[in-house]
Amino acid sequence: MNTATLAASVPMRQDAAIVGLVGLAHAASHFSHLLLPLMFPVFVHEFGLRYSELGLLMTVYFAVSGLGQAGAGFLVDRKGARPVLFASMALLLLACVLASLADGYALLVLVAATAGLANASFHPVDFTIMNQRVSPHRLGHAFSVHGLTGNLGWALAPVFFAAATRLSDWRGAYLGAAAMYGAILLLLLVHRDKLSTHSAQPKEARQPVHDLAFMRLPVLWWCFGFFLLSTMTLAMVQSFAIPLLKALHGVPFEAASMTLSAYSLCAAAGMLAGGFVAARTLHSDKVVASCMAAATGCLLLCASAVLDATGTMAVLATTGFAIGIGGPSRDMMIKRATPAGATGRVYGMVYSGLDVGFAIAPVAFGMLMDRGLYSLTFFAAAVLMLLSALVALGVGRRIGPPAPG
């Protein structure tokens, strides 16, 4: 009996346990995206750094993550997802310990590189486990939970660091994060049987297929482009929403941090609703494009002078909801574009567009911030989001609708 047949016959409790563990790992990955940005104001004060220099830290993080993600996809296909996942969680623990010891820019760069390498494997690992171990008819909801937990990881990070810093200091907050990663790794080790996968190499083939053959498919590069553009907007929000709200409307740090958490919580709620949408539509590309267009409108409002501080914070949070609804449909769109037997490699390559976007955006937007072009920062993010909507429609034209039923 093959893996697909086994996945189709497993009880819901087993599927839920697998999705829960994968979702926890995904939340830990997203939490790591904010390990450094949330402390940008602290680093400015402690080490006298500029926003463009801080943005470069995130460029290092996501450049390492993007390059590593493409390689991690091949490793997952050859060796299985589980050992790669355990190694990544251990690296996140190490990055937090190093951050607690930071005494200047050089060590912060090392933290960014270590955390980026850890982050590299999560998408190929997560989607390989879910595609192999979760019942096919539950995949839409599995992708929804996966996206939801990722956004919860983003939402938890500002609250965690604000509370931990208040109880101790910023170094103690990083040690607390290290302890959290240690606990998650221990839980994954205890339940390691639910995370096993087989290598995705065809046992028999009339003609050997080169490992890089999938890269000749134009649709995958369109998918890469979608992640690149949409992620640049997300990177702007995560890296600069707090200083933007303060600069444009005088919003204090605590309230701005809560707005960033609200954005992520709204995105998580959108992901939950989006799972039902993804399970009921054959046109995932159109769902994605519509959601990105709605988010564009919200960002344009934030860029305008129409809204006051409260209105801007509310609309920015709503942007997360619009993007979240499209998340599960986005993952279904990528699944439809994935050749058989290349899940890890395809997800590694396509989702590396996310890392490239995260790598480019902080420096580019940081330059606008350094020049005091705050409204233009929001406007540029809106333009990129609109372009991602158009690219999603381009993906849909190249894969076509799936067969009904």
In the predicted structure, residue 6 carries a pLDDT above the cut 50: no
* Top-confidence residue, 219 or 203: 219
Any domain includes 37: yes
CA-CA distance, 181 to 92, in Å (whole number)?
Answer: 7
**Mean pLDDT, rounded, of the chain:** 85
Could you tell me the CATH number of the domain that includes residue 239?
Answer: 1.20.1250.20
Within a domain: 368: yes
| Residue 357 pLDDT | 86
Domain assignment present for 404: no
Of the pLDDT bands very low, low, confident and very high (cuts 50, 70, 90), residue 260 is: confident
Task: Please give the C-alpha separations between residue 231 and each of 42, 144, 351, 360, in angstroms, as whole numbers.
Answer: 25, 18, 10, 10
pLDDT value of position 253: 80
Residue 341 in any domain: the answer is: yes
Domain containing 294: what range?
A: 14-192+215-399
Percentage above 90 pLDDT, the chain: 37
For residue 325, what pLDDT is reported? 92
Residue holding tokens 């893996």? 3
| pLDDT tens, position by position, 283-298 | 888 999 999 999 999 9
Buried residues in 12-25 as b, exposed as e (16+ CB within 10 A):
eeebbebbebbbbb
**Mean pLDDT within 122-130:** 87
Residue 209 within any structural domain of the chain = no
Q: Among all chains, which residue has been given the structure tokens 């995705």?
A: 200
In the numeric block, which tokens belong to residue 364? 């580019």
Among 195-199, 256-260, 343-347, the range with the most confident prediction by mean pLDDT is 256-260
What's the average model confidence in pLDDT over 3-18? 69
Within a domain: residue 201?
Answer: no
d(CA 272, CA 129): 20
Residue 205 located in a structural domain:
no
Does residue 197 sit within a domain? no
Around Cβ 115, how many Cβ atoms within 10 Å? 28
Question: For the chain, how many structural domains are there in total?
Answer: 1
